[in-house]
């Protein structure tokens, strides 16, 4: 019994250690997405990436539309270091960014160094 518990613990620990690094632009983009989609609780991220050079985040996600059907979408968010999210496009259509996300709360810090 103790051996089985230890094995389960190791599996859980190894799953946690393979998590992705925190991506602040992706997190802010996801928060904005949840605020503008019809069913925020149905949101599920499939893939996401951020580009520090262009200050943009891309997020592919599934969420339910107003009729309850699950739809796959792609969102792009543009950022400014001082203004937060400055632009958001979902499936090729420009979306109004909620005002409270256009703030100086988004502080990514210095760009990562690859030295």
Would residue 70 count as lying in a domain?
yes
Would residue 63 count as lying in a domain?
yes
Would residue 51 count as lying in a domain?
yes
Would residue 6 count as lying in a domain?
no
**Six token digits for residue 4:** 């089985």
**What is the count of structural domains for the chain?**
1
**Domain containing residue 51:** 24-101
**Long-range contacts, stretch 75-80, CB < 8 angstroms, 24+ apart:** 75/29, 75/33, 77/25, 77/28, 77/29, 77/32, 79/25, 79/28, 79/55, 79/106, 79/108, 80/55
Would residue 115 count as lying in a domain?
no
Each residue's pLDDT tens digit, 10-55: 344 444 445 667 788 999 899 999 999 999 999 999 999 999 899 9
Would residue 107 count as lying in a domain?
no
Would residue 33 count as lying in a domain?
yes
The verdict on pTM exceeding 0.75 is: no
């Amino acid at each position: 019994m103790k051996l089985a518990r230890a094995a389960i613990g190791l599996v859980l620990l190894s799953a946690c250690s393979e998590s992705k690094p925190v991506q602040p632009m992706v997190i802010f983009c996801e928060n904005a997405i949840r605020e503008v989609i019809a069913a925020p609780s149905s949101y599920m991220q499939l893939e996401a990436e951020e580009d520090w050079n262009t200050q943009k985040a891309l997020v592919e996600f599934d969420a339910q539309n107003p009729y309850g059907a699950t739809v796959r979408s792609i969102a792009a968010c543009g950022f400014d270091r001082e203004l937060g999210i400055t632009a958001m496009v979902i499936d090729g259509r420009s979306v109004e960014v909620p005002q409270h996300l256009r703030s100086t709360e988004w502080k990514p810090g210095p760009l990562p160094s690859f030295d």
